[in-house]
Structure 1
Amino acid sequence: SKINPWSLQLCKKKAEKLHQELMDAGYVNVAQKYMLLEDVTARFRHPCILDLKMGKRQYADIDSDK
């Protein structure tokens, strides 16, 4: 799979900025992982994407499974 060069460049810049902020704040041993997603719309001329969530309840990431 190909990675969009522009996305990779932006990701690297953001990571460098975050790293510098953490170093300035004294967080020397902090490690974070990022996931770089592929642009699945790159081959389309006029892509149209719908991010649809259905249901009555919304849960936060930190909520338990109960």
Structure 2
Amino acid sequence: MDFLSGWLKSVVLVILIATFVDLLLPNQSMQRYVKTVISMFLLLTLLQPLLSLLRSDAALDERLAAA
């Protein structure tokens, strides 16, 4: 349950930062690129549990192969 609360905190933090940065942008030309980058950060944050699961599976396979 601790992992889930940490993950949710990081998702909320990325969303708050994205909103703050969106409010600070003065012109429309940069806004498109910044929104793309922020969306990528949000996507990586949402996929963090899946990526950590894949990394742990790879480490487990390496340990089994070494044994």
For the superposition of Structure 1 and Structure 2, which TM-score range results when normalised by the shorter chain? Answer: 0.3 to 0.5
Structure whose residues are more often helix by fraction: 2
TM-score (norm: length of structure 2): 0.40
TM-score (norm: length of structure 1): 0.40
